[in-house]
Structure 1
Amino acid sequence: MTLPAPLTGVVPPVCTPLTPDREVDVPSLTALVDHLLEGGVDGLFVLGTSSEAAYLTDRQRRLVVETVIGHVAGAVPVLAGAIDMTTPRVLDHVRYVTGAGADAVVVTAPFYARTHPAEIARHYRLAAARSPVPVLAYDLPVAVRSKLTADLVLELAAEGVLAGLKDSSGDEGTFRTVVTGARAHPAVTGFSVLTGSELVVDSALAMGADGAVPGLANVDPAGYAHLYRLCRAGEWELARAEQERLCALFAMVRVGDPGRMGSGSSALGAFKAALHLRGVIACPATAEPQIPLSAEETAAVGKHLAAAGLL
Structure 2
Amino acid sequence: MPLPTPLSGVVPPLCTPLTPGGDIDVPSLRALAERLIGAGVTGLFALGSSGETAYLSDARRRTALRTVVEAAAGRVPVLAGAIDMTTARVLDHARAAAGLGADALVVTAPYYTRTHPLEIAGHFRRIREAVDLPLFAYDIPMAVHTKLPSRTVLELAADGTLAGLKDSSGDDGALRRLLVELRRRGLDATFSVLTGSELTVDGALLAGAHGVVPGLGNVDPEGYVRLYAHARAGRWADAAAEQDRLAALFAITDVGDEAVMGRSSSALGAFKTALHLLGVIDSPATAAPQVPLGDAATKSVCRLLEDGGLL
Q: TM-score range by the shorter chain?
A: over 0.9
Partner SS, residue 274 of structure 2: helix
Structure 2 residue identity aligned to 1:264: S
Structure 1 residue identity aligned to 2:26: V
Structure 2 residue identity aligned to 1:244: D
Structure 1 residue identity aligned to 2:203: S
Q: Are residues 187 and 39 of structure 1, via their aligned partners in 2, closer, same or farther at CA, if it must alter by over 3 Å?
A: closer
Query: Are residue 302 (structure 1) and residue 302 (structure 2) matched?
Result: yes
Aligned to 1:94: 94
Asked whether the 8 Å contact 1:158–1:188 carries over to 2, the reply is no
Query: Are residue 46 (structure 1) and residue 46 (structure 2) matched?
Result: yes
- Taking the aligned partners of 2:186 and 2:65, their CA distance within structure 1 comes to 35
Unpaired runs of 5+ in structure 2?
A: none
Within 5 A, what are the aligned runs for 1:178-189? 178-186=178-186, 189=189
Partner SS, residue 71 of structure 1: helix
Asked whether the 8 Å contact 1:216–1:250 carries over to 2, the reply is yes
Query: Are residue 229 (structure 1) and residue 229 (structure 2) matched?
Result: yes
- Taking the aligned partners of 2:11 and 2:214, their CA distance within structure 1 comes to 7
Q: How far does the alpha carbon of each residue in 1:217-244 deviate from its partner, in whole angstroms, 9 at most, with x for none? A: 0000000000000000100001101000
Q: Are residues 138 and 74 of structure 1, via their aligned partners in 2, closer, same or farther at CA, if it must alter by over 3 Å?
A: same
Q: How far does the alpha carbon of each residue in 1:120-160 deviate from its partner, in whole angstroms, 9 at most, with x for none? A: 01000101101211000000101111100111100110010
Aligned to 1:132: 132
Aligned to 2:192: 192
Q: Structure 1 residue 186: deviation in Å?
A: 3.9
Q: TM-score, normalised by structure 2?
A: 0.99
Q: Structure 1 residue 183: deviation in Å?
A: 1.5
Structure 2 residue identity aligned to 1:16: T
Q: Are residues 187 and 246 of structure 1, via their aligned partners in 2, closer, same or farther at CA, if it must alter by over 3 Å?
A: closer
Partner SS, residue 48 of structure 1: coil
Asked whether the 8 Å contact 1:157–1:188 carries over to 2, the reply is no
Asked whether the 8 Å contact 1:253–1:268 carries over to 2, the reply is yes
Q: Structure 1 residue 187: deviation in Å?
A: 5.9
Aligned to 2:150: 150
Q: TM-score, normalised by structure 1?
A: 0.99
- Taking the aligned partners of 1:211 and 1:272, their CA distance within structure 2 comes to 23
Partner SS, residue 113 of structure 2: coil
- Taking the aligned partners of 1:71 and 1:286, their CA distance within structure 2 comes to 22
Q: How far does the alpha carbon of each residue in 1:50-98 deviate from its partner, in whole angstroms, 9 at most, with x for none? A: 0000000000000011111011110001000010000000011110101
Structure 1 residue identity aligned to 2:265: S
Within 5 A, what are the aligned runs for 1:252-271? 252-271=252-271
Aligned to 2:120: 120
Aligned to 1:17: 17
Aligned to 2:207: 207
Partner SS, residue 21 of structure 1: coil
Cα RMSD (Å): 0.8
- Taking the aligned partners of 2:180 and 2:96, their CA distance within structure 1 comes to 34
Moved more, 177-186 or 38-47: 177-186
Structure 2 residue identity aligned to 1:133: L
Structure 2 residue identity aligned to 1:173: G
Query: Are residue 8 (structure 1) and residue 1 (structure 2) matched?
Result: no
Unpaired runs of 5+ in structure 1?
A: none
Q: How far does the alpha carbon of each residue in 1:162-196 deviate from its partner, in whole angstroms, 9 at most, with x for none? A: 00000000001111122111122146651000000
Count of matched residue positions in the alignment of Structure 1 and Structure 2:
311
